[in-house]
Structure 1
Amino acid sequence: MSPVETLSDAHVPGWWAELDLPGLFDVHVHFLPPPVMRKVRAQFDGAGPLIGREWPLHYRGDDQERVAQLRALGVRRFGALPYAHKPGIAEYLNDWAAGLAATVPEVLTSATFFPEPEAASYVARRIADGTDVFKVHVQVGDFDVLDPHLRAVWGALEDARTPVVIHVNSGPVATSRTGPGALRDLVTAYPALTLVLAHMGAPHYDEFMAVAGKYDRVHLDTTMAFTDFWEEMAPFPADLLPRLRDLREKVLLGSDFPNIPYPYAHQLEALARLGLGDEWLRDVCWYNGTRLFGAPSEHPTKGPA
């Protein structure tokens, strides 16, 4: 495609049309119950301890506004990705996310879990109900990925091959529970898990890419990676670009919308300026998502938003 200088949200549909794509498949979008979203926004606004820096949110609309924004951008599939930060909240989030997916056709049915005695039971039930994707945020939840309460959970997810978007990387702020060691512990114990590693594993890109290269069902998402904002915190090493090109079928578009401090278009702009070619962009922005989750036409039609 043509070199990208500055891309605006209004021009995003033309951007993906130039790649001959039917739209965008974004695996890392967040929708949360309004009271929870308000608390999350407060953390960003206050540069909380797991944020680590000023983070001026670009999008602040309600659910209807944000669905409309994604539709205007041409994002044809996206998750809700709730994440539990403490015991006792996961099923509240899961029920809310299931309700959203039932009314918004583009939404992947999303769920979460936390290391607690009930986790195995409700995760098994969500899998049986056809949940498309789970999300866990190890940094925010501050738990051991090998917590005994999660043994049956990981085993069930491994057997079901249900993808899990997992934030186990150490960006933007490291904790004792995150990093390459925690990821290696998890995949060593459960090598057939279907994982999507958030933020390209930043700042430990090399180690996280190595895991994705070694394990057949481990993927990476581009969430915030390569953007000007993220490069200030965790620059992607130029010498890893050939490996990133080779991992083409393992990399999926992620944005972190709406919790981003720049227009959505900048994520796409940042991917294009890597110079990895149109075929790489096509796979990342659409085909890898449809291979992992299925194309939109393969899902039942739901009601209007």
Structure 2
Amino acid sequence: MDLAGTDSEGYTRVYGQGFTGGRSLDHLVGELEQHDVAGVMQAEWEEDDPAKVNTRVAEAIATHPDHLVAGIATTDPRLPNALEILKHAHDEQGLRGWNFQPGFLKVAANDPSVAPLLDYCQENGHPVTIHSGINFSETGPIKFGHPGALCEVACAYPDLTIVASHGGWPWVTEMLAVMWKHSNVYADFGAIAPKRMVGPRGGWEPIAHWMNTMVADQVLMATDWPMIRHERLLAELDYLELSDESRAKFTFLNAARLLDKHWGIKLTNNDQVGEL
């Protein structure tokens, strides 16, 4: 779930009024409870004050710890106090990691300004989630979401957990190549309906096969709520034709492993885990 302001006109055009409507926290928590989903909420920031966004996420998790089990912080690498904002979110608010939106900020993941934050995250065992592939901002070029930048980051930071949010479309094969090359690179598919990820017409054609085989350990279920609601996401999982083992990895085991590694959270049941 994006709890920040955003360049939303393009998103409303693509996703409809559902993108801007029904965004209450109570509505989200109700969905998580209804569908037995443990949510990981990340602070996605594009404008205003990233510290305020971190505070809102931390407060949401503190209020609903049974359904929002962990949170990811954000900061703007261009700010002189970018690292201090991130450290405060980690040390004082209980968040972990860093969410970064290259297309909105017009700063690539391999830009030199990003290096101090990546250094800090690798040294301290924090994951980094990076918007990858297309964005619908009307001012942010999609070139900043190319998976090639993630490959360069993964080469320089082999111990850093990197999550490519939204799966890198339209560069699907490039994204898969980066994941196959780097075991520390994961992908989630927030805002992508599973039925759009199969067949020859949507541009995702190889993805389901690879989710079932070579990168089965590196894929994470996500909604980017409210852009995809849980009812639709879970109902469409069968379209992917995943084996029982691969489906368990996608919906629970891979995320549970990262929650244990980076948050020290051990989930003991088979609830789905989704990034919001």
Q: Same fold (TM over 0.5)?
A: yes
Instruction: Please state whether the residue corresponding to 2:29 is helix, strand or coil.
Output: helix
1:69-218 matches, within 5 Å, as 69-75=31-37, 77-86=38-47, 89-105=49-65, 106-107=67-68, 108-115=70-77, 116-129=79-92, 130-171=94-135, 175-218=142-185
- In structure 2, the residue matched to 1:25 is none
- State the shift of 1:117 in Å: 1.1
- State the shift of 1:281 in Å: 1.0
Q: Call closer, same or farther: CA 1:125–1:62 in 2, change over 3 Å.
A: closer
In the alignment, the residues of structure 2 paired with residue 90 and residue 136 of structure 1 have an alpha-carbon distance, to the nearest angstrom, of: 11
In the alignment, the residues of structure 1 paired with residue 43 and residue 151 of structure 2 have an alpha-carbon distance, to the nearest angstrom, of: 24
- State the shift of 1:91 in Å: 0.8
In the alignment, the residues of structure 2 paired with residue 61 and residue 83 of structure 1 have an alpha-carbon distance, to the nearest angstrom, of: 15
Greater RCO (CA < 8 Å, at least 6 residues apart): 1
Indicate if the aligned counterparts of 1:222 and 1:254 stay in contact, CA closer than 8 A: yes
1:28-43 matches, within 5 Å, as 30-32=1-3, 36=5
- State the shift of 1:126 in Å: 3.0
- In structure 2, the residue matched to 1:15 is none
Does residue 242 (structure 1) correspond to residue 197 (structure 2)? The answer is no
Write the deviation string for residues 156-199 of structure 1: whole angstroms up to 9, x where unpaired.
11122222221122355752322123222322332322111112
Please, which runs of 5 or more residues in structure 2 have no aligned partner?
261-265, 270-276
Q: Call closer, same or farther: CA 1:90–1:42 in 2, change over 3 Å.
A: same
TM-score, scaled relative to structure 1: 0.73
- State the shift of 1:229 in Å: 5.5
In the alignment, the residues of structure 2 paired with residue 121 and residue 182 of structure 1 have an alpha-carbon distance, to the nearest angstrom, of: 25
Task: Pick the structure with greater CA Rg.
Answer: 1
Root-mean-square deviation (Å): 2.8
Q: Call closer, same or farther: CA 1:73–1:245 in 2, change over 3 Å.
A: same
1:15-34 matches, within 5 Å, as 30-32=1-3
- State the shift of 1:102 in Å: 1.5
- In structure 1, the residue matched to 2:273 is none
- State the shift of 1:249 in Å: 1.3
Q: Call closer, same or farther: CA 1:259–1:233 in 2, change over 3 Å.
A: farther
The residue identity in structure 2 corresponding to 1:141 is L
1:59-70 matches, within 5 Å, as 60-70=22-32
- State the shift of 1:43 in Å: 5.3
Indicate if the aligned counterparts of 2:197 and 2:207 stay in contact, CA closer than 8 A: no
The residue identity in structure 2 corresponding to 1:99 is E
The residue identity in structure 2 corresponding to 1:250 is Q
Indicate if the aligned counterparts of 1:136 and 1:164 stay in contact, CA closer than 8 A: yes
Indicate if the aligned counterparts of 2:163 and 2:187 stay in contact, CA closer than 8 A: yes
Indicate if the aligned counterparts of 2:154 and 2:184 stay in contact, CA closer than 8 A: no
Instruction: Please state whether the residue corresponding to 1:272 is helix, strand or coil.
Output: helix
The residue identity in structure 2 corresponding to 1:62 is S
Q: Count residues with an aligned counterpart.
A: 254
In the alignment, the residues of structure 2 paired with residue 121 and residue 287 of structure 1 have an alpha-carbon distance, to the nearest angstrom, of: 33
TM-score, scaled relative to structure 2: 0.80
Indicate if the aligned counterparts of 2:132 and 2:166 stay in contact, CA closer than 8 A: no
1:264-275 matches, within 5 Å, as 264-275=230-241
Q: Call closer, same or farther: CA 1:101–1:40 in 2, change over 3 Å.
A: farther
Instruction: Please state whether the residue corresponding to 2:98 is helix, strand or coil.
Output: strand
**Deviates most, 184-193 or 95-104:** 184-193
